[in-house]
A = this chain, B = another copy of it.
Amino acid sequence: MELLKSAVLKKGKVLSGDVLKVDGFLNHRIDVELLAEMGKFVHEKFSDCKVDKILTVEASGIAFACLTAQFFCCPVLFAKKSKSTNISDDVYTAPVVSYTHGTTNNILVSKEYLSKGENVLVMDDFLARGEAANGLLSLIEQAGANVVGVVAAIEKGYQGGGDALRARGVKVLSLAVIDSMENGNIVFRPDED
């Protein structure tokens, strides 16, 4: 998606440790207008699909998921990274490694909000090794719900998580796929269509 790619090139910074800093518009300061445009784009790409719910994980996925859900007229469910007193004990859980935080979290959702037969679209800000996406897919599988697809704003294509999902037959839509960030130069994968 050209609008996002332009933002990445204009405002993104490649830091050491394979970190792409896009906190000026995606996951700290949020460019709400841009994310709504991205949501509209996602809706167009999944216009032939029934989406009952969007599933994401706190915190960076929430903005993109909510601004997209408006086009699908569906609710968002965000997986939590820790248990709080206002969540029931009846949860689905899955382990997820976070490379930017250097931690492993057991993400969780209340069973009452993820139901058998529901059609669920997974969304997140980044798709790299696919840790978060696979955790979310595990939650959906545990619930007996259906995976509509996996959407990421930015995919680090060279880390393989997205292609591994595609190889498994999952419909993956990444709005910007980065094939290389060597020497700080961001090289995007050409769009499929």
**Residues of A participating in the B interface, judged by any CB pair closer than 8 Å:** 15, 17, 19-25, 27-33, 35-36, 58-59, 62-63, 66-67, 69-70, 73-78, 80, 82, 84-88, 98, 100-102, 109-110, 112-113
Q: How far is it, in angstroms, between the C-alpha of A22 and the C-alpha of B102 when the chains are bound?
A: 31
Q: How far is it, in angstroms, between the C-alpha of A33 and the C-alpha of B87 when the chains are bound?
A: 22
Q: A21-B86, A58-B58 given as contacts; is B73 within 8 A of A30 (CB)?
A: no
Cross-interface CB contact of A78 among B31, B59, B69, B82, cutoff 8 Å:
B59
Q: How far is it, in angstroms, between the C-alpha of A109 and the C-alpha of B110 when the chains are bound?
A: 30
Question: Could you pull out 18 A-B pairs where Cβ atoms are within 8 angstroms?
Answer: A20-B86, A25-B75, A28-B77, A28-B78, A28-B87, A29-B75, A30-B62, A30-B76, A32-B76, A33-B73, A36-B70, A58-B58, A63-B63, A63-B76, A66-B67, A84-B100, A84-B101, A85-B102
